[in-house]
């Protein structure tokens, strides 16, 4: 999809800035200034997803993430957001999140977040062997992409992975 041009790209950057400052209301106002035909651009939808996630509008987040996966299927964040939204949405849950993310795991072999989130989902569903395997995979990607320490520290602080905390040092 084509990159946004000014002034729409400026409004998008401003929305990102407001989000960075923790003001999702102002971020949303900036998105409203984008030309209507470009409000469905994947970059705009990504920011819209973040705004709605802050507001815990999970059903809307599911719709937004699904749109991103259709418009930009090679963008891993759309799939990650879809799974996370499904986990939080009414009628969703861990299994729905797992089912959304698992099929794309092989499509994004250098993205740490996908196996990490699959490890979280597996751990919370008490599938600890699978959780260990997915976390190992996240660590391996982290080593290759120079973010291993960050991923490991995150895992040691993530309540979803508490069942594995005592084993993380061995993975």
Q: Return per-residue pLDDT of the chain as tens, 171 residues.
A: 789 999 999 999 999 999 999 999 999 999 999 999 999 999 999 999 999 999 999 999 999 999 999 999 999 999 999 999 999 999 999 999 999 999 999 999 999 999 999 999 999 999 999 999 999 999 999 999 999 999 999 999 999 999 999 999 888
Per-residue pLDDT, 109: 96
Asked whether residue 147 is domain-assigned, the answer is yes
168: CB partners within 8 A, 6+ apart = 135, 152, 155, 156, 161
Range of the domain at 133: 109-171
Q: What 3 state SS string does 41-101 have? A: CHHHHHHHHHHHHHCCCHHHHHHHHHHHHHHCCCCHHHHHHHHHHHHHCCCCCHHHHHHHH
Q: Helix (H, G, I), strand (E, B), or coil: what is residue 167?
A: helix
Q: What is the structure's pLDDT at 77? A: 98
Is 124 within the bounds of a domain?
yes
Is residue 148 in some structural domain? yes
For residue 170, the model assigns a pLDDT of 87
Domain total of the chain: 1
Look at residue 91 in the predicted model and tell me its pLDDT: 94
The whole model's pTM is what?
0.94
Q: Report if residue 139 sits inside a domain.
A: yes
Is 145 inside any structural domain?
yes
Tokens 């999970």 appear where? 58
Q: Is residue 59 part of a domain?
A: no
- 125 in a domain, yes or no? yes
DSSP 126: T
Residue 134 corresponds to which tokens in the numbers above? 């997915």
The answer to whether residue 162 sits within a structural domain is: yes
């Amino acid at each position: 999809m084509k990159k946004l041009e000014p002034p729409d790209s400026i409004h998008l950057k401003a929305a990102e800035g407001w989000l960075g400052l923790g003001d999702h209301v102002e971020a949303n106002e900036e998105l409203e200034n984008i030309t209507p035909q470009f409000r469905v651009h994947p970059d705009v939808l990504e920011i819209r997803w973040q705004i709605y996630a802050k507001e815990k509008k999970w059903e809307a987040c599911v719709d937004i993430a699904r749109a991103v996966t259709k418009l930009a299927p090679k963008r891993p964040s759309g799939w990650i957001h879809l799974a996370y939204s499904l986990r939080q949405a009414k009628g969703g849950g861990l299994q729905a999140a797992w089912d959304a993310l698992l099929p794309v795991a092989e499509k994004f072999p250098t993205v740490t977040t996908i196996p990490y989130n699959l490890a979280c989902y597996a751990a919370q569903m008490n599938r600890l062997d699978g959780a260990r395997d997915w976390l190992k995979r996240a660590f391996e990607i982290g080593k290759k992409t120079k973010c291993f320490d960050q991923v490991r520290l995150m895992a040691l602080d993530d309540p979803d992975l508490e069942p594995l905390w005592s084993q993380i040092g061995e993975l």
